[in-house]
A and B are shown apart, each in its own frame.
Chain A
């Protein structure tokens, strides 16, 4: 194992975050505050409790997920896309470091950033509502699994993309809509039966439901299925990444 190589990539990526500390942290915090002002205070007071939980409190896990997912994908995709774009990737590709180690460096950094930002959002949220976390261990487990999975997904997008627009497309067209429709701001049990069934094919439902369960012990789908689902996605993304490095797809001509 080339540990120092992994750490070098990790540090390089984290340095990028510290350089842009302002926007890395400010924008998610500001948008979280906006959500709370709009959904929590302005509308929330008119909305009944959901599953016995105040609406403002209910949306916290979904909000954290929404930001964490976007952060993972944008950080990881940009992290690998940019060196590919500028050509500095040559150094990583010609170094004695394996594909797995490269991914660990990039994805580890993107996941770390997302976890840091997720924690900041939780802290921000605690100013607006009373938070309780029923299962801190599962909460962390969900957070870590999710950040790694989606950072890896972002890494894939970064490799696949051959233009800056493509970096935006997937988060904008797939992740954000699926998260909104996946019950970030409501329980899918509130939907009519038909739409409830449709929602069950949305992977975000399992993610958000599981994460919310770790806070309030209410879930739209069984927690076990959530865990299995996310592990499955993790395995699939890992296999695709393995194949990419094996064949050099989009990395080596």
Chain B
């Protein structure tokens, strides 16, 4: 896999002495959707800012498509599109002008056809002559995405792209992001919605208190860290040896007529049969078996709590 962005030993200490990033190492593959997941104040925006040149690094190195982000800033930055977390737009400019401005800023000739196409893609075409102040929050966010795409970047940073966007539009945005991915754009997004990361990302990086705690394929992250639960409903009552044997199994809880058993998916082969052996040996009549997978949400909460 080709690496399109690499962050090497990056540290950021803000002027007040607060360390927002601590020895960050990260490499992003070409064409993937990478989700940066972390609680408020984890350092997501700081990390994106460091890559895009908005935040000075305290130490470390960032290489964007082979270009050092400081030494070869022109080549490096022309590959990048950024949609910041905060909605910041100039109030009096027209939608169409602000997107064309972005093209100019990145050294491109004004390409109105492409601007129109972007505006159509983001359902903004009928607002193209509106002043930005007359748009709703969700529309402004889409304008900012259109601006970030105006110079056809290879890497797109989306800092909480769907904050404040309604459910319907969120779905359509996810679709658009997938379209971009299909066109070969690498996407790095941050989000608080775990559902979003789960739905969109190829890989997920979890960041907490300025440190990357975990980076993995979404699937294997869920699988590897995945704790599963088996819930068994039984009839009758448990007594004597049967009860003792069940209670001797670690991570097993009895709750009325339910047996709740938690196990690591990695050790399923050894653990699960033990439970069923007890059930069969003691002829405990059970009628329903339900198995639940831990969601990314739970994994995330666990990791961040540590």
Q: Tell yes or no: A12 within 8 A of B by CB.
A: yes
Contact assessment for B74 and A94 in the assembled complex, using a CB-CB cutoff below 8 Å? no
Q: Could you mark each residue 202-223 of chain B with 1 if its beta carbon is under 8 Å from any beta carbon of chain A, else 0?
A: 0000000000000000000000
Q: How far is the CB of B71 from chain A (nearest CB, A)?
A: 13
Chain A residues close to B by CB (< 8 Å): 2-5, 7-9, 11-12, 15-16, 19, 83, 86-88, 90-98, 247-248, 252-253
Which of B47-55, B117-125, B189-197 touches A?
Answer: B47-55
Q: Within the assembled complex, what's the spacing in Å between the Cα atoms of A86 and B105?
A: 18
Q: Could you mark each residue 11-22 of chain B with 1 if its beta carbon is under 8 Å from any beta carbon of chain A, else 0?
A: 000110000000
Contact assessment for B14 and A93 in the assembled complex, using a CB-CB cutoff below 8 Å? no
Which of A87, A92, A248 interacts with B105 by CB under 8 Å?
Answer: A92
Interface of A is mostly: helix
Q: Within the assembled complex, what's the spacing in Å between the Cα atoms of A3 and B102?
A: 14
Which of B55, B77, B84 interacts with A95 by CB under 8 Å?
Answer: B77
Contact assessment for A94 and B90 in the assembled complex, using a CB-CB cutoff below 8 Å? no
Interface size class of B (residues with CB under 8 A): 20 to 34
Q: Tell yes or no: B187 within 8 A of A by CB.
A: no
Q: Tell yes or no: B266 within 8 A of A by CB.
A: no
Known: A5-B105, A253-B14. A90 touches B88 (CB 8 A): yes
Contact assessment for A87 and B56 in the assembled complex, using a CB-CB cutoff below 8 Å? no
Q: Within the assembled complex, what's the spacing in Å between the Cα atoms of A4 and B108?
A: 7
Which of B52, B88, B104 interacts with A86 by CB under 8 Å?
Answer: B88
Q: Within the assembled complex, what's the spacing in Å between the Cα atoms of A94 and B106?
A: 9
Q: How far is the CB of A64 from chain B (nearest CB, A)?
A: 29
Cβ contacts under 8 Å, A3 to chain B: 107
Q: How far is the CB of A209 from chain B (nearest CB, A)?
A: 40
Q: How far is the CB of B58 from chain A (nearest CB, A)?
A: 11
8 Å CB contacts to A: which residues of B68-88? Answer: 73-78, 80, 82, 84, 86, 88
Residue of B nearest to A248 (CB): B56
